[in-house]
Amino acid sequence: MSVAPTTRVAMVRPPRAYVSSPIADLRAQPDEAAERVDQAQSGEKVTILGESNGWAYVQGEDLYLGWIDRRHIREDPHPLPELLVAKHNAPVRREPRDESAVIGEVGPGIACGLVDGGFALCSAGWVAVADTMANDRLPQRPPTPEDIVTTAGSFLGVPYLWGGTSAHGIDCSGLTQRVYRLNGVGLDRDADQQALGGRPVERARPGDLFFFGADRVTHTAIATGETTFIHAPQAGLTVQRGELGADRSRLRAIRRYLL
C-alpha cells in the first residue's frame, strides 16, 4: 500500500540569499552580543527562515541554524524558473505523450525543465505538467509549523521501509527529513543526528520533532500538537498518527528547527 498518485503535496520555498561580507557571524539570538554559533563565508547561500529587527534567521549550507545581521546578506530576487513535481508517485513516461510507456515514478520536489506539450522533462523521463507546479508559484516565504504538519499528512498510509525516503516506503527519519526538505529546510539523515540540530524546547508545538529511545535516540516523529504526532513506526505498519502514552518514558528530546 502507498499513497495515491493524485495526492498533491504542500511545499513552500523560503527566500534564498548569499553572504555579501567576507565573513559573517551566525548568532544564537538576533543580537550582536549573543553567542556565535557558526560563521558563513562570502558567496555562501543561506535559506531565510525568519526575521526580527534587522536580523534574519537562516540555515547555511552546512545545515546550521542561526541569526545573521541582514547587512551581511543579499537576497536573490530571481526564483528558479523550472517546474517542480508536486505529487507523490507521479508517473514518468519514456516520451512526452499519453500513450508512451510508463517507465517509473518520481516524487514531489523533483525539478523539471524542458516542456513539450503537456509534459515536462526531468532526469528520469517525461512527467505530465499537470503533476507539476512552477517553482515561482510556490509560496515564497519561510515555512510555518502548519506547513510542516500539512506536508507530513500527505505521507499518511505510506508503508514503513527501513532506509526508505519516498511515498513507496519510508522510515522515521526519512519522513522527517523529507517533510522538512519539501519546505526548504535541511535535516541530517538519521534520527540521532537530527536530535543534535535545531534547539531544545520543553513543550512541543506543531512542526517540532520528538525523539525517542531507551539508551540513545532511535526514533523520531513530527509533532502535530503538544502530545500528538505523525510518524513512521516500524516494519509492518504505515505512517500514522500517534500520541504520547506509554512511550512518554522513552521521550529523550524535543527539538525545534523553525523560528
The CATH number of residue 196's host domain is 3.90.1720.10
Q: Quick check: is 3 in a domain?
A: no
> Do 243 and 149 fall into the same domain?
yes
Q: Where are the alpha helices (DSSP H) in the chain?
A: 145-153, 172-181, 191-194
Last residue of a domain, one of 137, 155, 171: 137
Q: Quick check: is 105 in a domain?
A: yes
Q: Quick check: is 200 in a domain?
A: yes
> Do 25 and 49 fall into the same domain?
yes
**What is the H or E stretch that residue 132 is in?**
strand 132-134
Number of domains in the chain: 3
Confidence (pLDDT) at 78 = 63
- To the nearest 10 degrees (0 to 180), the angle between helices 172-181 and 145-153 is 120
Confidence (pLDDT) at 82 = 84
* Grid cell of 116 as nine digits: 513539450
Q: What is the mean pLDDT of the chain?
A: 93
Residue pLDDT, tens place only, 134-148: 988 889 899 999 999
Residue pLDDT, tens place only, 89-131: 999 999 999 999 999 999 999 999 889 999 999 999 999 999 9
> Do 133 and 182 fall into the same domain?
no
Q: Quick check: is 252 in a domain?
A: yes
Confidence (pLDDT) at 28 = 95
Q: Is the distance from CB of 230 to CB of 218 less than 8 angstroms?
A: no
> Do 110 and 212 fall into the same domain?
no
Give me the domain span that covers residue 233. Answer: 145-256
Q: Quick check: is 7 in a domain?
A: no
> Do 241 and 160 fall into the same domain?
yes
Give the CATH number for residue 40. 2.30.30.40
How far apart, in whole angstroms, are the C-alpha atoms of residue 125 and residue 173? 28
The pTM score is 0.91
Q: Quick check: is 104 in a domain?
A: yes
Q: Does the pLDDT of residue 81 top 70, yes or no? A: no
pLDDT, average across residues 200-228: 96
* Grid cell of 179 as nine digits: 517533510
Confidence (pLDDT) at 179 = 98
Give the CATH number for residue 131. 2.30.30
Dihedral pair phi/psi, residue 128, rounded to 5°: -60, 135
